[in-house]
């Protein structure tokens, strides 16, 4: 099974991804976690990524696509993949489609977590990450609306998009996701 968890920053993608990963034995690929690790290790990718992350901007598609492709091709033990934070642009979505076709794989579902901006800002300010200050958060939400949100229509057209209310309890959201996939 191949799933994409989709939603704005703070929607609960990471929390729900952990639950899905454990229940379904999926490889959880979080671009945010991978990039924060690269920044922490001060790798070449990390140095490049830090500038974009500090500004709340998306990294160039080619860097993200290459990173995801390497992670997918290196996994041999999981029963599928759970992508969290990828794709974030239409070109990344098309690249994912191509990548999956090359490996005779199919994207099963895209789960969109729906949460109001006010709740997102509250969640993000309380989680304490270095890149979660109010100015960066507002910029990230704008970037999401302008660059990432159009992906919903892309996946809606393929009939694989599931919209889940993300401001319920963790357990309720999780149950709704499991019942929908």
Q: Name every residue whose Cβ is closer than 8 Å to that of residue 181 and which is 6 or more positions away in sequence.
A: 1, 3, 108, 109, 111, 162
Q: How far is CA 181 from CA 17, 20, 45, 137, in A?
A: 13, 11, 34, 30
Q: Tokens for 37? A: 């690790």
Q: Is 36 one of the annotated active-site residues of the chain? A: no
Task: Please tell me the predicted confidence (pLDDT) of residue 131.
Answer: 65
Task: Please tell me the predicted confidence (pLDDT) of residue 65.
Answer: 85
Write the DSSP assignment of 154-172 as a string of letters.
Answer: HHHTTT-EEEEETTS-HHH
| Cα end-to-end distance, the chain, whole Å | 10
Task: Please tell me the predicted confidence (pLDDT) of residue 76.
Answer: 64
At the fourth CATH level, the homologous superfamily of domain 2-174 is P-loop containing nucleotide triphosphate hydrolases (3.40.50.300)
**Relative orientation angle of helices 61-74 and 90-102, to the nearest 10 degrees:** 30
pTM: 0.82
Give the active site residue among 23, 51, 101, 129.
129
Give the active site residue among 21, 36, 88, 123.
88
- For the chain, which residues make up each domain, given as ranges? 2-174
Splitting the chain (181 residues) into consecutive groups of 10 residues, what average pLDDT does each group show? 93 93 90 86 89 83 83 76 90 92 92 94 83 82 90 95 96 96 91
């Amino acid at each position: 099974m191949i799933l994409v968890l989709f939603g704005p920053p703070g929607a609960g993608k990471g929390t729900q991804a952990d639950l899905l990963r454990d229940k379904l034995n999926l490889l959880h690929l979080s671009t945010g976690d991978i990039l924060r690790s690269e920044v922490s290790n001060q790798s070449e990718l990390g140095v490049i990524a830090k500038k974009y992350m500090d500004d709340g901007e998306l990294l160039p598609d080619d860097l993200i696509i290459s990173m995801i492709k390497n992670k997918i091709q290196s996994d041999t033990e999981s029963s599928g993949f759970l992508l969290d934070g990828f794709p974030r642009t239409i070109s990344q979505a098309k690249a994912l489609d191509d990548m999956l076709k090359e490996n005779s794989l199919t994207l099963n579902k895209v789960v969109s977590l729906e949460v109001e901006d006010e709740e997102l800002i509250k969640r993000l300010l309380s989680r304490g990450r270095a890149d979660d200050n109010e100015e960066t958060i507002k910029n990230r939400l704008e970037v999401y609306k302008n660059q990432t949100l159009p992906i919903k229509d892309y996946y809606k057209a393929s009939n694989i998009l599931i919209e889940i209310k993300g401001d319920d309890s963790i357990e309720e959201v999780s149950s709704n996701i499991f019942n929908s996939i």
